[in-house]
Structure 1
Amino acid sequence: MLSGIQHFAFCRRQWALIHIEQLWKENVLTFGGRQMHRNADDPFFTESRGDLLISRSVPLVSHSLKVYGIADVVEYHRSDTGVAISGREGYWTVVPVEYKAGRKKPDDRDEVQLCAQAICLEEMYRTRIEKGYLYYGKTRRRTEVLFDDEIRRRVAELVAGMYELYDAGITPPALLLPHCKNCSLIDLCMPNVSSRRRSVDRYLADSIRGD
């Protein structure tokens, strides 16, 4: 699933717990995100504002990446060049928009998810998408994301890593890191217990070797 790329970029163990072991637990952050997405998840909604069309809950697929999913919002801006849309005159530039309940993250998990959506839309419309937007509920602002070669390579690497773990059926071991406190799966993952256990195992192994 396309949405898994955000989990994978945040924590590979979290991704495996969700997508391999089929575990899930809600917290205040995931609940807020689900409520925000509920407002955007209307697959029959299309809004027209002059030279702007807005579609919600748009199905996506990429055969090159081998992912599928749903875009929160896709905007179509009238332009001199772009793609043709059934039932509409002229040409339109395609712009994906992803809604997030919180603030901008310190890593690239949101950006790679949006870029993956853009790659799907590029294949579906046979066009090139240069940018998209992340809308954050806490700040109520849009952040522009440019889809350059670097982020596209990053998306391809993450998807390849997802398939590698999925095909092997491997759930990576837990690591206690600062971002663990914001993870809804912390009680299922138990990074405190797992990290302490590995420390004890290393100590015993070193003692046996005489290190």
Structure 2
Amino acid sequence: MKIYGDTNSGNCLKVKWVCDRLGLPYTWMPVDIIKQESRTPQFLKLNSAGQVPVADFEDGRTLAQSNAIIRYLARASDLIPSDAFAAAKMDEWLFWEQFSHEPYIANCRFQIVYLGRPASDLDPEKVKRGYAALARMEHELAARRFFVGDALTLADIALLAYTRVAHEGGFRLDGYASVRRWIGEAEKSLRLPASR
């Protein structure tokens, strides 16, 4: 399997982390999105949306969208709850992450890290909604160790990708003790270096 991605992208790192956690063999194919390498005719044959990550399997099939990829790769693993309702709760968080978290926290980080803009230029509405996402996470994590049950699932991996680097997007996590505790536990579970 080849994984096409940018290691600055949380969406791409999700796929890498799942492969590493499950011991799945892969070759990382670096794609520089700032240099428009995801817009070349060759790349667009892999994913006509021109986005990373993309998993390219040995049989010639390809799969895009980070949460779809990790959901496929982790099938029948301990990263997906065996209970059907718990698995659906995990999916609920995966959908929420892409709709109510990533568009704000990741977008602000993109503006600063990729485009070199100052935090003062960030869209105030995106900042407000990013903090709303962090507040919801804090509320949920105050009552539980991980997002679904008492073990790491794909929900945690998906949400960890950009939350652990939220400070790079101008978000302060000082008032989010449960989120900070969870980041540390999730990083430890994935054997990642501490983000701060």
Q: Which has the higher helix share?
A: 2
* TM-score normalised by length of structure 1: 0.31
- Kindly indicate which of the two structures has a greater share of residues assigned to strand: 1
Structure whose alpha-carbon radius of gyration is higher:
1
